[in-house]
């Protein structure tokens, strides 16, 4: 295995280990594992790394979760259109421009965040914040563990 492949493998195993440590409590962990399952080469890795409680439920849960979210989004959009038609006229126009700009900025950034967090595309604004919070914490753990690993292996020599 050359360097790049090895790096990718290590990163993949670290991600899977991290995600399985969560015991499917968060959306991003399920997303990582379901993505890893799609590739057949990873089955051995998954079997060794996944925590005992995790089963094949994850993929089904993920699909159901996605479906739920999508249907919720459609429902919400149809409701919002009705509300907007009602509310358009009595709304004040004073601070409209500033709020519009601010909303657009926030929307752009949430889109970027959705791309960063694994499994983030199919989440509404509220849950992406929650998932991002959890993901940040877990990434920190990962970085720490890797630092310790590196220190341990270098001190060994």
What does the block give as tokens for 36?
């890893």
Least CB distance to other proteins at residue 117 (A): 7
Does 57 sit near other proteins (CB under 8 A)? no
Among 23, 67, 70, 73, binds other proteins (CB under 8 A): 23
Q: Whose Cβ is closer to other proteins: residue 74's or residue 79's? A: 79
CA torsion, points 51, 54, 55, 59, in degrees to nearest 10?
A: -120
- Please, are residues 49 and 17 in contact by the beta-carbon 8 Å criterion? yes
Does 110 sit near other proteins (CB under 8 A)? yes
| Distance (Å, whole) CA 113 – CA 41 | 29
Does 106 sit near other proteins (CB under 8 A)? yes
Does 130 sit near other proteins (CB under 8 A)? yes
| Distance (Å, whole) CA 63 – CA 27 | 11
Does 59 sit near other proteins (CB under 8 A)? no
């Amino acid at each position: 295995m050359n360097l790049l492949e090895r790096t990718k493998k290590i990163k993949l195993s670290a991600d899977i280990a991290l995600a399985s440590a969560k015991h499917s409590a968060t959306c991003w962990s399920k997303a990582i594992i379901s993505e890893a399952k799609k590739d057949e080469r990873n089955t051995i890795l998954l079997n060794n790394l996944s925590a005992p409680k995790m089963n094949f439920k994850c993929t089904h849960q993920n699909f159901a979760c996605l479906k739920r979210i999508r249907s919720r989004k459609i429902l919400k959009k149809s409701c919002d259109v009705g509300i907007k038609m009602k509310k358009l006229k009595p709304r004040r126009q004073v601070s409209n421009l500033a709020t519009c700009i601010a909303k657009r900025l926030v929307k752009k950034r949430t889109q970027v965040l959705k791309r960063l967090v694994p499994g983030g595309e199919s989440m509404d604004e509220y849950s992406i914040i929650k998932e991002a919070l959890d993901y940040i914490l877990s990434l920190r753990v990962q970085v720490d563990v890797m630092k310790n690993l590196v220190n341990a292996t270098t001190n060994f020599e």
